[in-house]
Amino acid sequence: MARKTKIRTRMQGGKVEVLILVTHPMETGLRSDKKTKQKIPAHFIQTVDVALNGKSMASAELGIGISTNPLLGFRLNSAKNGDKLQVKWKDNQGETGVIDSKVDL
């Protein structure tokens, strides 16, 4: 299924804040389907990487404690308008996403 990813940048606390929203079920693997009593298999994003102009600036490892449609915020020490941002994510079922964006303050 195609995932939507939104990336937004803004100045916050003197830094450049990057907000990333991915539409993803973040299924824990602990829930069961009410009707069939079958376990719903785990499906969640495990790694996220944020690169600025091709250089990795921040990354995260996520578990099932992160909510559905995860919203992640990082703050970069310096970045200017028009700098290239690339966000990559990968989930536990091998699904990946690569999203290109630009710093727009």
Partner 1 sequence: MSEIKRRTFLKGSMAGGLLAVAAGAGLLRPTQVMAAQWPDSAFNARSVDVAINSLYGSSNIIDSKAIKIRAPLQAENGAKVPIQVLTDMPVDSISVFIKENVMPLAGRANLKNASGFFSTRIKMAKSSDVIAVVKSNGKLHSAKLAIKVTVGGCGG
How many Cβ atoms sit within 10 Å of the Cβ of residue 64?
Answer: 15
Neighbours of 26 (CB within 10 A): 20
Burial of residue 18 (number of CB atoms within 10 Å: 0-12, 13-18, 19+): buried
The footprint of partner 1 on residues 56-95 (CB under 8 A) is: 56-68, 70-77, 90, 92-94
Q: Output 2 or 33, the one with its CB closest to partner 1.
A: 33
Task: Report in angstroms how near the CB of residue 40 gets to partner 1 at its nearest.
Answer: 9
Per CB under 8 A, residues contacting partner 1 are: 13, 15, 17, 19, 26, 28-32, 34, 42, 46-47, 50, 55-68, 70-77, 90, 92-94
